[in-house]
Amino acid sequence: MKTWLPHTQNRPKILIVDDQLSNIRVLHELFREDCDVFMATSGEQAITICQAQLPDLILLDVVMDDVDGHEVCRRLKAAPATQGIPIIFITAKQQDIDVVLGLELGAVDFISKPINPVIVKARVRTHLTLKLQYDLLRSFALVDGLTGVANRRKFDEDISADWRKCLREQKPLSLILADVDFFKRYNDRYGHQAGDVCLKSVAQTLSETVRRPYDLVARYGGEEFACVLPKTDYFGAVEIAERMQKKVRALGIEHSTSDVNSVVTISLGVATMTPTGDLEFKELIDAADQQLYRAKKTGRARVCASVTPEMPLSVPRC
């Protein structure tokens, strides 16, 4: 059967929310062949699934016993991680005041009960297409034009979101800041075009060193890169940083004006924190930056690392 959805590399994710199982079954049957379908029978369950799965579209019943659809919409639109998910209300209420309230809360459309499968599919297709186009354009805006890794804006968004998630789950969050040693000298000696090629090679190598889909490598600025590692403890982060350092050196990019090696090297600072209500993610950035400063001041081409003072596991790696 030819799919009714626009071409995309991944199957869209749809969340169906209704406290009546019969309604969920009807909608599930419409979308199961073309989408990954998640189901919730209460408002609280819907919010939990949204936070974990980040669906591309939500079909949300308005009238539910515990938390109604309006309140679910209100809470999802108030949270940075879920506020961009389009919501289509499914309701038997047809009065203008209900439609206006839903739109004011952030819904993109309404579907009336009883459900007409043709209309439902058409509207879902329209809003999924818009969402996929928006995601594509947004992804271009979050990529560094030179190196192809994430840019500073993407880094800022991800470390903030990862901090909140690790705070909820009480998991450690690690950050690596890396700087290409004596890069200004490299540009002066080999030229800016060669410098661009060097940065691309370093960025690709750093990206290849991390394996999990939720780890992030970003260009932090100039010749500096950042790696955000959610749910990674101190020892895991140090191991990754040391692997990065060795792999960049193994590229063998000539650097005759470096004071530490005849090839391009990097200095790295590592910090690990388990978020608490008293801390902010900027403190993690400051801690990693301090360790990078140590690495550069104590000879470069090395890893320096620390954990928060509250953790007795602090072992410098310089």
Model pLDDT for residues 19-29, shown as the tens digit of each residue: 889 999 999 99
Task: Find which of 31-35, 128-132, 192-196 is predicted with most confidence, using mean pLDDT.
Answer: 192-196
Task: Please pick, among 223, 224, 254, 283, the residue that the annotation labels catalytic.
Answer: 223
Percent of the chain with pLDDT over 90: 75
Going along the chain from its start, the domains and CATH numbers come out as 13-141 (3.40.50.2300), 152-307 (3.30.70.270)
Residue pointed to by tokens 């350092």? 245
Which residues, listed in sequence order, are joined to residue 268 by a DSSP beta bridge? 178, 303
Give the pLDDT score at 306: 81
Give the pLDDT score at 8: 59
Model pLDDT for residues 247-271, shown as the tens digit of each residue: 999 999 999 999 999 999 999 999 9
> Residue 99 — very low, low, confident or very high, per pLDDT cuts 50/70/90?
confident
**Cα separation values, 76 from 72, 85, 86, 111, 260, Å:** 6, 8, 10, 19, 51
* Interval 228-234 mean pLDDT: 96
Give the pLDDT score at 315: 41
Give the pLDDT score at 102: 85
pTM, rounded to two decimals: 0.71
Check whether 280 has a pLDDT greater than 60.
yes
> Residue 314 — very low, low, confident or very high, per pLDDT cuts 50/70/90?
very low
Give the pLDDT score at 312: 33
Mean pLDDT of the chain: 90
* Interval 165-186 mean pLDDT: 96
Contacts of 33 (CB under 8 A, 6+ apart): 1, 3
* Active-site residue, 223 included: yes
